[in-house]
Amino acid sequence: METVEKDQAAEDLAELKRLIEEGRVEDARRLAPALAARWPQSASIQHFARVLEPPRAIPTPPLPPGRSFDRDVAWLRAHAREYPGCWIATFEDELIAADPSLKDVVRKVRDTLDTTRQLASLYYQPPGRE
């Protein structure tokens, strides 16, 4: 990439970051795909375009009949603060996994439960929250 192109890509990236910092996420979401198409070789712009994509719903199996989450909620109220910055998976009143990596927690849930019949509860405990 030539110096002029690098400078323009850096300016475009700075504009994208400015929009995010100002809380104008929807504007950034609209701009990001155009910048990604314009600068396919910019890893930073490609990264922002990917993370700014609108959230997607991931289908889950239907809730098993009679599954109450009351015990999961009670466990989380009592223990979630012990796992700051972690994704937490419970099944009824049992901890299945707690880890900063959602991927690792989901893997542990799949290894532990029959996910065709048992539905875990997933929760993220933000750091520093009591």
Contact 92, 64 (CB under 8 A): no
Number of domains forming the structure of the chain: 2
Which one, of 79, 59, 67, lies nearest residue 123 by Cα? 79
Question: Residues 44, 78: one domain?
Answer: no
Question: Residues 47, 75: one domain?
Answer: no
The pLDDT-based confidence of 1 (bands split at 50, 70, 90) is low
pLDDT tens readout for residues 61-105 = 665 667 788 999 999 999 999 999 999 999 999 999 999 999 999
Q: What share of the chain is helix, strand, coil (3-state, %, to 5)?
A: 50, 15, 35
Kindly report the number of other CB atoms within 10 A of residue 84's CB atom. Answer: 13
Is 118 inside a domain boundary? Answer: yes
Is 65 inside a domain boundary? Answer: no
The whole-model pTM stands at 0.51
Is 63 inside a domain boundary? Answer: no
Give the domain extent around 46: 3-51
pLDDT tens readout for residues 9-65 = 999 999 999 999 999 989 999 999 999 999 999 999 999 999 998 877 777 666 566
Q: What is the pLDDT of residue 84?
A: 94
Place of tokens 């993220």: 124
Q: What is the pLDDT of residue 66?
A: 72
